[in-house]
């Protein structure tokens, strides 16, 4: 997987004037892009939604994709670490699934190139949804008779529609509907100059002046639009040695380095979106920062070596709040049932606690 890395300090040094930066504000597109090999269809989206909410895709039948990525909320679980099978704790905070369709790489360390790649991971991760392998997961779905017609409708060209690849494609298709393009910020950029209040406008200006958009640029506030698999990565902390390193254990996890083993990737992270960030506390990859105002102070210091005034922090938090808006209405799907029997085996009483990374 390719990576794009920028040095924050250099970006801040060569920040453009506000008159130019004003031309860089982008509204979120009202439709997410989809790959040529997985076009959107209504049947595929409906199947993906059903799978996203079905806990029977987990070992004990207790966890679904929605358990960690709650689309009835901010698309995460508002926990420092997610809870998986056998009471396991994830090693990283669950990223929001809202607007993930606009990211060019998935997971905090960018190890998945696409939503399709990402969707396969948690199902067979022993400390997330816990299915022992893809074959077992597919056998579980095959034991639910009413799933096959849904797969046939979603993948009419497939001779064997019920496969793990198609599970991932369907879930990804549903996730591409999870976008929030109608925020106060978007309405402002599209021409409604009353959409932001005075404090939010000050925060928008501060965002540019301080240099936050050196990383959080583009319509998704997650970096430039890049081809799938070419992740946009930043070093974090960019400026080591502040009080935050120890206070929030910032150096314990080496980020992308844990995937590639390359020293050059040590403490590199995929830049997360700031959309709906006000709704996804706690913050950072390890979920150790409880509040948004503290996260703003921390990022200014560790990335740009800047101490913000209390007024700047309040204004930035107000602006970040304008990146939350109307969410598409979500209705719970009716899951295919198995009258008279259960496809979920008895739970092993010998539970063990493990840890994982997102």
Q: Which of 26, 46, 59, 128 is catalytic?
A: 128
CB atoms within 10 A of CB 1: 16
CB 4 within 8 Å of CB 226: yes
Copy the structure tokens of residue 214: 């050196």
CB 99 within 8 Å of CB 273: yes
Closest to 357 (Cα-Cα) out of 95, 67, 54, 100: 95
Closest to 238 (Cα-Cα) out of 15, 10, 9: 9
Closest to 105 (Cα-Cα) out of 334, 240, 269: 269
Helix (H, G, I), strand (E, B) or coil at 212: helix
Angle, helix 42-53 to helix 147-154, in steps of 10 degrees: 140
Active site residue 128: yes
CB atoms within 10 A of CB 144: 17
Continuous H helices in 125-252: 134-142, 147-154, 164-175, 184-189, 198-210, 243-247
Helix (H, G, I), strand (E, B) or coil at 29: coil
Distance, in Å, from the CA atom of 170 to the CA atom of 40, rounded to the nearest integer, reads: 9
Three-state secondary structure of 265-304: HCCEEECCCCCCHHHCCCECCCCCECCHHHHHHHHHHHHH
Question: Among all residues, which ones are annotated catalytic?
Answer: 128
């Amino acid at each position: 997987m390719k990576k794009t890395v920028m040095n924050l300090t250099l970006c801040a040094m060569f920040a453009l004037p506000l008159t130019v930066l004003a031309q860089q504000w982008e509204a979120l597109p009202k439709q997410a892009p989809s790959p040529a090999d997985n076009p959107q269809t209504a049947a595929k989206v409906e199947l993906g939604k059903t799978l996203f909410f079905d806990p029977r895709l987990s070992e004990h039948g207790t966890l679904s994709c929605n358990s960690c990525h709650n689309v009835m909320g901010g698309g995460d679980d508002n926990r420092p670490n997610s809870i998986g099978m056998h009471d396991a704790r994830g090693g990283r905070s669950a990223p929001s699934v809202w607007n993930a369709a606009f990211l060019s790489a998935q997971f905090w360390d960018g190890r998945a190139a696409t939503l399709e790649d990402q969707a396969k991971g948690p199902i067979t991760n022993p400390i997330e949804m816990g299915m022992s392998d893809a074959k077992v997961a597919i056998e579980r779905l095959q034991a639910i008779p009413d799933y096959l017609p849904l797969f046939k409708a979603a993948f009419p060209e497939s001779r064997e529609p019920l496969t793990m690849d198609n599970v991932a494609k369907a879930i990804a298709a549903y996730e591409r509907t999870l976008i929030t393009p109608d925020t106060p910020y978007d309405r402002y950029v599209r021409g409604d100059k009353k959409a932001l209040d005075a404090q939010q406008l000050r925060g928008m200006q501060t965002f540019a002046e301080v240099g936050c958009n050196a990383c959080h640029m583009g319509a998704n506030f997650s970096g430039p639009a890049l081809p799938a698999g070419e992740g946009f990565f930043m070093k974090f902390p960019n400026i080591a040695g502040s009080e935050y390193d120890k206070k929030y254990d910032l150096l314990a996890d080496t980020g992308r380095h844990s995937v590639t083993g390359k020293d050059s990737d040590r403490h590199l992270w995929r830049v997360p979106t700031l959309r709906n960030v006000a709704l996804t506390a706690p913050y950072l990859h390890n979920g150790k920062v409880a509040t948004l105002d503290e996260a703003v102070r921390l990022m200014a210091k560790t990335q740009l070596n800047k101490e913000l005034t209390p007024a700047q922090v309040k204004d930035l938090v107000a602006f970040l709040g304008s990146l939350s808006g109307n969410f598409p209405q979500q209705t719970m799907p009716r899951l295919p049932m198995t009258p008279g029997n259960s496809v979920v085996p008895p739970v092993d009483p010998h539970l063990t606690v493990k840890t994982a990374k997102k």
